[in-house]
């Protein structure tokens, strides 16, 4: 199970996961299942990395707001169904993140496949 899957499990159990410095902060209306607590402990460091603002300073809430804003615009002004608007909004968020966090391939290697580069034709 990954950190993202652990967060999904917590959400499904009604647990909101936040952070305070180096600590995870959990909010729930009832005691969460021990299995959920165990997986959150196991993936604490990775969860903290996911929840903290990235280099650009964006939090999970910032990304959700961008997604919701774009989806709303595409639905109401773009005339798309809500499902289509959400798909396009998600794709736009991915493109925005990739542009803000470029990954360069090693010299002479393809980023996609890792094989040696070939001259352009």
pTM of the model: 0.46
Structure tokens at 112: 């996609």
Q: Is the pLDDT of residue 74 over 90?
A: yes
- pLDDT-derived band of residue 55, with 50, 70 and 90 as boundaries? low
pLDDT tens for 76-112 read 999 999 999 999 999 998 888 778 777 666 777 776 6
Where are the domains positioned within the chain?
A: 3-51, 60-100
Pick the residue with more confidence: 18 or 118? Answer: 18
85, 69 contact by CB (below 8 A):
no
**CA 74/CA 99 separation, integer angstroms:** 21
In Å, what is the CA distance from 31 to each residue of 9, 12, 36, 101?
A: 14, 13, 10, 38
């Amino acid at each position: 199970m990954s950190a993202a899957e652990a967060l999904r499990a917590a959400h499904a159990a009604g647990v909101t996961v936040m952070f305070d410095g180096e600590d995870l902060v959990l909010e729930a209306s009832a005691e969460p299942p021990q299995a959920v607590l165990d997986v959150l402990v196991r993936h604490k460091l990775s969860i903290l990395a996911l929840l903290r603002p990235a280099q650009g300073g964006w939090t999970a809430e910032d990304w959700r707001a961008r997604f919701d804003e774009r989806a709303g615009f595409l639905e109401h002004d773009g005339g798309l169904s809500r499902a289509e608007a959400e798909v396009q909004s998600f794709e736009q968020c991915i493109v925005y993140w990739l542009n803000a966090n470029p990954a360069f391939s090693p010299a002479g290697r393809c980023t996609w496949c890792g094989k040696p580069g070939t001259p352009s034709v």
